A and B are shown apart, each in its own frame.
Chain A
Amino acid sequence: MSPLRITMRDAPGGPVLEIAGELDYASAPRLRDAVGGIALQPGRRLVLDLAGMEFCDSSGISTLLAARHHAHAAHADIALAAVPEHTLRVLRIVGLDQIFPLHPDSGSAARP
């Protein structure tokens, strides 16, 4: 069990949030707050880089959706990068692979 770590950096197309560790009922509010605190410009893209994410439960999925709402409300875009296999399986079950643009890595996701 490793705690959630959130790191933000700027890429040419918009902010990139690196999410590492476990995203669950206990830690999801932290990601929700982190995303809510990002001021997004219209036309920019928020990338959630999940390469280091070890676990994601339904609360985590809800938070990804909340991030999508946040981006769309600012007329910005959102993409997921480097989604781990276990989370990809869940995303497919809940149909979210059709809703989120998925990229193999944050480099390709952040390209404007």
Chain B
Amino acid sequence: MMCRTGQRPDPHGAGGEQAPDAAFAALLEDSAEELYESAPCGYLSTLMDGTIAKINATLLGWLGREREAVVGRMRFADLLTVGGKLYHETHFAPLLRMQGEVSGIALEIRQADGARMPVLISSAVKYGDTGEPLLIRTTVFDARDRRAYEEELLRGRKAAEEAQRRAEADRARLQDALAVLQQSLLPDTLPPVPGVETAAYYHTASPDRLGGDFYDVFPVDGKRFAFFLGDVCGKGPEAAAVTSLTRYTLRAAAVHDPGPVSALSTLNKVLHERYTGSGDPRYCTAVFGTVEPHPTTGQAAVRLASGGHPPALVLRADGTAEFLPTPGGLLVGILPAADFVTATTVLSPGDTLLLYTDGLTEARTGRDRRGLYGDEALLAFAAGQAGKPPRDVVRALTELLRGFGDGLDDDTALLALGVPAPAPRQDRAR
């Protein structure tokens, strides 16, 4: 606490000289000899061969030995533990001979009862007038408190390292779990569909957030294959749970009735019953369809229905592209019963059907990222890819997505199904 102005004696003034003088006088009666003997550290003088010539009472007290048993009878190294002796011989003594002084070396001295005591040792060589070494003066500091402090530090560090190791293991486990979950939301590979080529791509906006987009292709009977693609509103574990429910509901529904409206109606019912009244309503948009390759014509008949999903695109072999409109199809899961709209088309050789999620059309473009990529731009881009097989169309769109950079802030799924064009004639002629 601060003293009030005027009450503190001025240390440089003439008034307060009596009291300090008296205290100094008392201190001066403490002889050099007594200071040496009972200093708060150990003092030790040895001959150059280490033989102890002089030792103070403090150090004798720490050692638990009598002066007569030490002076002239023991060497400095004899006071150390075995490890200390070794260190003294290999490092301490050579360094001292070279430099003339060594300071702050941590060693352990051996007490008479066998106990060890951690100390810090500093030594200096005293030289004669002609520069020849005469003796070694050594100071020994009690390092027990310091050692305890260091052990605490070490313990703290070990605990921190252990906590970090555990956190890393936990994180790795969590990443594994997320990866397994993510894999359960998407097929590893698409099954081969006779007479139809398929390709898919999934862009994850953030590795930490489980995706909300999904797609799948699977056989439903001897003739038809079902496919679907959609987008669950929201992100993260809750969205992933909806994605999982959606995927397996659509697969199961298609087993009973592969009709697109029937499958989406079943999904609508399941989502609505599961999440309405939960306080956290969940919905998705989805396109569900079937493709039925014709055994002889090489064409494939497509029937699909949409619930609130952007319209599919058809890329024709002749280089044109068109939307396959499904107007009025309602977001899946918001009403107890919803209307879904079907659309049909026939894929001829060289035609490709493209399904996508709105990450693509909602990607922000332009220098200030304020514009949206939009339907018209997508239609024009698709026309430029028309006539190419599905894997090339998906590859071109993947490049397009990559070009959006930061503008693509949502997950995006692509699924393309096409009937391969006949190989060009000149290829066969070769």
Binding site for B on A (CB under 8 A): 1, 25, 57-59, 61-62, 65-66, 69, 86, 90, 92-96, 98-99
Q: Using known A-B contacts A93-B308, A95-B330, A96-B331, determine if residue A62 contacts B283 with beta carbons closer than 8 Å.
A: yes
Do B328 and A95 have beta carbons less than 8 Å apart? yes
Q: Which 5 A-B pairs have the closest CB atoms?
A: A95-B330, A94-B308, A94-B331, A62-B233, A58-B233
Q: Using known A-B contacts A93-B308, A93-B309, determine if residue A25 contacts B235 with beta carbons closer than 8 Å.
A: yes
Do B281 and A66 have beta carbons less than 8 Å apart? yes
Q: Which of A57, A65, A90 contacts B283 (CB 8 A)?
A: A65
Q: Which of B235, B281, B330, B372 contacts A98 (CB 8 A)?
A: B330
Task: Please measure, in the bound complex, the distance between the C-alpha atom of A110 and the C-alpha atom of B346, giving whole angstroms.
Answer: 48
- For A66, the chain B residues whose CB sits under 8 A away are 281
- For A95, the chain B residues whose CB sits under 8 A away are 307-308, 328-331, 338-339
Do B410 and A57 have beta carbons less than 8 Å apart? yes
21 A-B residue contacts at CB 8 Å? Answer: A1-B369, A57-B410, A58-B231, A58-B234, A58-B358, A61-B233, A65-B334, A66-B281, A69-B276, A69-B281, A86-B372, A90-B358, A93-B358, A95-B307, A95-B338, A95-B339, A96-B308, A96-B330, A96-B334, A98-B330, A99-B334
Q: What 20 new A-B contacts, CB under 8 Å, besides A25-B234, A59-B234, A62-B233?
A: A58-B231, A58-B234, A61-B233, A61-B331, A62-B281, A65-B283, A69-B276, A86-B372, A92-B327, A94-B308, A95-B307, A95-B308, A95-B328, A95-B331, A96-B331, A96-B334, A98-B328, A98-B330, A99-B330, A99-B334
Q: Which of B233, B285, B309, B327 contacts A59 (CB 8 A)?
A: B233
A72 CB, nearest partner CB in chain B, Å: 11
In the complex, the chain A residue whose C-beta lies closest to that of B212 is A58
Binding site for A on B (CB under 8 A): 231, 233-235, 276, 281, 283, 285, 307-311, 327-331, 334-335, 338-339, 358, 362, 369, 372, 410
**Which secondary structure dominates where chain A touches chain B?**
helix
Task: Please measure, in the bound complex, the distance between the C-alpha atom of A65 and the C-alpha atom of B233, giving whole angstroms.
Answer: 11
Q: Using known A-B contacts A62-B233, A99-B330, determine if residue A94 contacts B335 with beta carbons closer than 8 Å.
A: no
Task: Please measure, in the bound complex, the distance between the C-alpha atom of A99 and the C-alpha atom of B331, giving whole angstroms.
Answer: 10
Q: Which of B281, B310, B338 contacts A93 (CB 8 A)?
A: B310
Do A99 and B233 have beta carbons less than 8 Å apart? no
Task: Please measure, in the bound complex, the distance between the C-alpha atom of A92 and the C-alpha atom of B330, giving whole angstroms.
Answer: 9
In the complex, the chain B residue whose C-beta lies closest to that of A54 is B370
Task: Please measure, in the bound complex, the distance between the C-alpha atom of A86 and the C-alpha atom of B362, giving whole angstroms.
Answer: 10
- For A90, the chain B residues whose CB sits under 8 A away are 358
In the complex, the chain A residue whose C-beta lies closest to that of B334 is A65
- For A94, the chain B residues whose CB sits under 8 A away are 285, 308-309, 330-331
- For B310, the chain A residues whose CB sits under 8 A away are 93
Task: Please measure, in the bound complex, the distance between the C-alpha atom of A96 and the C-alpha atom of B331, giving whole angstroms.
Answer: 7
A88 CB, nearest partner CB in chain B, Å: 13
B255 CB, nearest partner CB in chain A, Å: 27
In the complex, the chain A residue whose C-beta lies closest to that of B284 is A58
B258 CB, nearest partner CB in chain A, Å: 23
Task: Please measure, in the bound complex, the distance between the C-alpha atom of A93 and the C-alpha atom of B233, giving whole angstroms.
Answer: 14
A18 CB, nearest partner CB in chain B, Å: 21
In the complex, the chain A residue whose C-beta lies closest to that of B327 is A92
- For B372, the chain A residues whose CB sits under 8 A away are 86
- For B311, the chain A residues whose CB sits under 8 A away are 93
